[in-house]
Structure 1
Amino acid sequence: MIHSSAIVARNSIIEKGARIGANVRIGPFCHIQANVEIGEGTVVLSHAVINGHTRIGCDNLIDRYSSLGEINQDLKYAGEPTRLEIGDRNRIGQRATFHRGTVQGTGVTQIGNDNVFMNQVHIGHDCVVGSFVHLALGAALAGHVELDDFGQVDEHSAVHQFCILGYASQVLAHSCVVQDVPPFTRVQGNRCKALSVNEDALTSQFEDEHLRQVIRVLYYQLYHGGDALNEVKAALLLMQKEYPHLSCFERFFARSTRGIVR
């Protein structure tokens, strides 16, 4: 079903069963398959392919030659009706590739809202990407990666499968992540090592200088204090009672299984 206000180029293919919302614009030479839903106000530029059971929210921009909802690269995949779900107001650059989930994972690759994915970004199967994240040119997430809100992956960096990138963390350019990155931590290298607190994120997230200092102290305890990780976690639970914003650390450690970058 194509809404009467949608504008679709004559040489694009919209398969029967696709749902195209109000004020959607689809440029030339696109292919939208049968199980795709595109929300109001989304713009799809030329030569994009959107397939699988893919749901795209409102007011997104999908640039040229992107491939969304493609068959994943897990060799166990046998054509199951797994999904890709994309939220609202995302900017997806040229030649981006987002893969649908697998039944061995959660069955869905999830993308939040207000994200920026620059050209040639890859999101693997079963990834969970939050909101307000930024992936630079050529950044790639392997399968099952979790990237929390306000995270950043700089150009030509890659993240190993099952890794977790915590809230407002940053992976600097040309890096390879093979372990989990705690919130507000800036990492770099092949394989990544912790460099510092992500001061830019601290400044943008919190006006309270005292809270920013608490997070700096927590980073010091994790990387320079000599305390065991379990001791840092115990101290974190106590600090969280006074500083609820630190709950992002508790959520991170509750999921972390690969160990943290050092």
Structure 2
Amino acid sequence: MTRIHSTAIVDPAAQLDSSVTVGPYTVIGPHVRIDAGTTVASHCVIEGHTTIGKDNKIFQFNSLGAVPQDKKYAGEPCQLVIGDRNTIREFCTFNIGSPGDQGVTQVGNDNWIMAYVHLAHDCQVGNHTIFANSTQLAGHVHVGDWVILGGFTVVHQFCRLGAHSFTAMNSLLFADLPPFVMAQGQPAQARSMNFEGLRRRGFSAERISAVKAMHKSLYRQQLTLAQAQSEIELLTHKYPEAKADVDMMLGFLQGASPERGIVR
């Protein structure tokens, strides 16, 4: 217990691995579990039914596991679950889930979350994402793997962001953002595909060509969404190496809400 600063208040019922470090004036509640190698800096509050995995770096002045900002919430034991190797910078607020959804707000592994980020109740964040300063997610937002959100991005409730998508600074999302798409504006509009990000992640030339073809069908040929999906379905024959990428795009488009649609 020498890794817990003398001024920190850790409830005796909290479950902290012996290797966890807790900084000055941090408060940790009774239903909190923190796994090996995680460091919690000073002046943090971690409460609620919150589970934090291994080797996370939680900087000072964070609020994790507070009740949702939802008037319907009535004290149900909902959860916040954070995976492994995440960096959470200063002044972030992650709320627990709500009974109106699955009751869990979840953050995956290897995410880089900068200062002043808000994750509302029931958000689902994948792996290897980057959220720049002051990114704000309303409730029930789903964020795929490798997504990058520019500073001051604001996402409307229930929106989905597909894997490898990207928003520019000050973007405002009212609709689903398909995989690979780069968006910018208020409201956000599609500008291109995240080709540079895909190259950095080792995508082959054939897979990138397939992404270019998907972009053309969705945004360059004046097709309806249904027509674009039909065109995209044919790409697996031309680009067999990209079958998983095409299937991911089709699955995402098929799940688009009729009310919100996609960013176009």
Equivalent in 90, 105, 109 of residue 113 of structure 1:
109
1:8 counterpart SS class = coil
Q: Residue 206 of structure 1: CA displacement?
A: 3.7
**Corresponding residue for residue 252 of structure 1:** 252
Structure 2 distance, partners of 1:110, 1:239, is 33
The answer on 1:30 being equivalent to 2:26 is yes
Structure 1 distance, partners of 2:236, 2:17, is 43
Q: Residue 208 of structure 1: CA displacement?
A: 1.6
Letter in 1 for 2:164: A
User: Could you list the per-position Cα deviations for residues 68-120 of structure 1 after superposition, in whole angstroms to 9, with x for gaps in the alignment?
Assistant: 01111011111100000000000000000001000001100010000000011
Contact 2:217–2:231, Cα closer than 8 Å, also in 1: no
User: Could you list the per-position Cα deviations for residues 218-262 of structure 1 after superposition, in whole angstroms to 9, with x for gaps in the alignment?
Assistant: 111101112221122233334346222313213322432120112
Q: TM-score, normalised by structure 2?
A: 0.94
Structure 2 distance, partners of 1:33, 1:113, is 23
Structure 2 distance, partners of 1:211, 1:168, is 13
**Corresponding residue for residue 169 of structure 2:** 173
Contact 1:186–1:196, Cα closer than 8 Å, also in 2: yes
Structure 2 distance, partners of 1:199, 1:118, is 23
Structure 2 runs not aligned, ≥5 long: none
**Corresponding residue for residue 53 of structure 2:** 57
Moved more, 249-258 or 137-146: 249-258
**Corresponding residue for residue 12 of structure 2:** 16
Contact 2:217–2:232, Cα closer than 8 Å, also in 1: no
Contact 1:59–1:88, Cα closer than 8 Å, also in 2: yes
Contact 1:206–1:212, Cα closer than 8 Å, also in 2: no
Structure 2 distance, partners of 1:112, 1:94, is 19
Moved more, 240-249 or 122-131: 240-249
Seq. identity, %: 37
Q: Residue 137 of structure 1: CA displacement?
A: 0.6
Structure 2 distance, partners of 1:137, 1:99, is 18
Letter in 2 for 1:261: V
Residues 83, 240 of structure 1: alpha-carbon distance in 2 compared, 3 angstrom cutoff: farther
Q: Residue 190 of structure 1: CA displacement?
A: 0.7
Structure 1 distance, partners of 2:214, 2:201, is 16
Contact 2:135–2:152, Cα closer than 8 Å, also in 1: yes
Structure 2 distance, partners of 1:140, 1:147, is 12
Letter in 2 for 1:61: K
Structure 1 distance, partners of 2:25, 2:70, is 28
Equivalent in 213, 227, 234 of residue 217 of structure 1:
213
The aligned runs of 1:1-262 (5 Å cut-off) are 7-240=3-236, 242=240, 243-246=242-245, 247-257=247-257, 258-262=260-264
Q: TM-score, normalised by structure 1?
A: 0.95
Structure 2 distance, partners of 1:254, 1:70, is 34
Structure 2 distance, partners of 1:167, 1:43, is 28
Q: Residue 173 of structure 1: CA displacement?
A: 0.2
Letter in 1 for 2:256: S
1:196 counterpart SS class = strand
Structure 1 distance, partners of 2:183, 2:189, is 5
